[in-house]
Amino acid sequence: MNPFAVEGMTMLVIDIVLLAVKIYAFVTALRYSDEAYRAAGKLNKMAWTVILGLGVAAQVVLAGSPLNFINLAMTVAALVYLADVKPALSALTRR
C-alpha cells in the first residue's frame, strides 16, 4: 500500500470531521437569541455567527489543508464555542 494514500485518506477524514464540528457549532449558534448571549455574558450572537461562519467558509475554501493556521484558529474558535458558550446558553434556555 502506498504510504501517501494513507496520509491522503487521513487528511480527508480530518478535514471532514473538522468541517462537521464547525457546521454543528455554527448551526447551534444560530439557534439561540441575542438576549441569551448577553445574559450569559458572552460575545453577542452576531460576533459568534460571523466567527463560526467564517470558520466553515475557510474550511470549505481551504479544503485539503485542514492543518493550516487559519483552519486551526477557526477550529479553536468552534471548540471554544462548544465547550464554553453553548453550555452557558443551554443552562439559561432550558426548555
- What pTM did the predictor assign? 0.89
Q: What is the pLDDT of residues 66-84, one digit of tens each?
A: 568 898 999 999 999 999 9
Does an H or E element contain 32, and which?
none
Residue position matching grid coordinates 467558509: 57
Mean pLDDT, to the nearest integer, of 5-22? Answer: 90
pLDDT of residue 7: 84
Q: How far apart are CA 56 and CA 15, in angstroms?
A: 11
pLDDT for residue 15 is more than 70: yes
Residues spanned by the domain of 67: 3-92
Closest CA to 20 of 64, 55, 44, 46: 55
Count of C-beta atoms within a 10 Å radius of residue 30? 12
Identity of residue 47: A
- Number of structural domains the chain divides into: 1
CA 72 vs CA 14, 17, 39, 56, 86: distances in Å:
12, 13, 29, 12, 20
Tell me the C-alpha distance between 59 and 5, whole Å.
Answer: 21
Per-residue pLDDT tens over the stretch 32-68 = 999 999 999 999 999 999 999 999 999 999 876 656 8
